[in-house]
Chains A and B, each alone.
Chain A
Amino acid sequence: MAQADKAQATTAKVLVVTSGKGGVGKTTSTAALGAALAHNGDKVVVIDFDVGLRNLDLVLGAERRVVFDLINVIQGVAKLPQALIRDKRLENLHLLPASQTRDKDALTDDGVAKVIADLRKKFDWIICDSPAGIERGATLAMRHADAAIIVTNPEVSSVRDSDRIIGLLDSKTARAERGERVDKHLLVTRYHPSRAARGEMLSIDDVLEILSTPLLGIIPESEEVLRASNVGSPVTLNNPLSAPARAYFDAARRLKGEDVPMTVPSESRSLFNKLFGRKAA
């Protein structure tokens, strides 16, 4: 076991899911990608950095199982394994929740560094769900990241805030301070291909040209996302054949270094499946 721990420690990857702007899909994407990576057999922990406004527990359907949280671990009230919640559907997926009530100043740089270092020994992927904004919670969430997923809606305020966040990733992270790079990946969410084609919405090319950041995936706007969060399940588990789920699975494969052609999955196939599924039921 110790040997396995050691072997994994060298390959563990810390990701931050960030955006600057709120409501663009950070938590949804953290849950969906975390579940997709865990589904493929990797050991994954998702950490909620939104102290005071935690929601990753709710999106994952683990809200009633939270006993200890990140700040309890940092303050030494609980041990790390006590605070980790194992997903009921995927045994490789774990959640480290944020606290709901405590002061966010309790989130210290050293405390976070230690938690991340400990998690690196146990997991393949450590995915930090950043709060919105550019304050302490957001900068701490990105602090130890090896790579960043910048979640962007094709909309002016989101693109502007993403640009700001990209600037922070290049200057305020531990890697940046050591003169190293944080790999940046752009995840465009809530995309309407038809509206973009009609010139009503910024296109993928527009967003890529403005932000000059490699694309990780395009998540189409879909009812499935709300449906999944309603029932507390990542969209990749709740309806794996739906368009957004397929887009997240593709993005997860790209994170693992696979070369997956960039497409915007459409809903038609999942609609067919749904009809078919209903008939079969």
Chain B
Amino acid sequence: MSLFKSMFRRGSAPVARERLQLLLAHERVTRNQPDLLGVLREEILAVISRHVAFEPDKVQIKMDRGKSVSTLEVDIEIPNGLGGMARVA
């Protein structure tokens, strides 16, 4: 490594700086909004639980933020049998 490589290596601080600037730009925007995912989770579960029984721990809600499109993924495991989908009918 040595001389040649170290002459062209600019140190890792610029990387740290750039990562922080990107991250904080995002975090500052979302910081003062209410916990969107938490609110969505609560309201979606309230609606579903009116119709089917499920275990609260068997629920996964994920949000992926993309540049132009974000996706919200809701995965609820509903047991078959009594108290499950049967109640929909």
Contact = CB atoms under 8 A, between A and B. Distances in A.
Contact of B17 (A167, A198, A206): A206
Contact of B13 (A160, A167, A171, A203): A203
Contacts of B16: 155-156, 202, 206
Interface stretch (B27-35, B43-51, B57-65, B77-85): B27-35
A206 B17 CA distance: 7
Given A164-B27, A167-B31, A171-B32, A200 B21 contact: no
Interface string A180-205: 00000000000000001011111100
B13 A210 contact: no
B21 A210 contact: yes
Contacts of A198: 11
What class of interface size applies to chain A in its complex with B? 10 to 19
B24 A163 contact: yes
Interface string A116-160: 000000000000000000000000000000000000000110011
A138 to B, nearest CB: 16
B28 A167 contact: yes
A156 B31 contact: no
Interface of B: 10-14, 16-17, 19-21, 23-24, 27-28, 31-32
21 contacts: A155-B16, A156-B19, A159-B20, A160-B23, A163-B27, A163-B28, A164-B31, A167-B32, A196-B13, A199-B10, A199-B11, A199-B13, A200-B11, A200-B13, A201-B13, A202-B16, A202-B17, A203-B13, A206-B16, A210-B17, A210-B24
Interface of A: 155-156, 159-160, 163-164, 167, 171, 196, 198-203, 206, 210
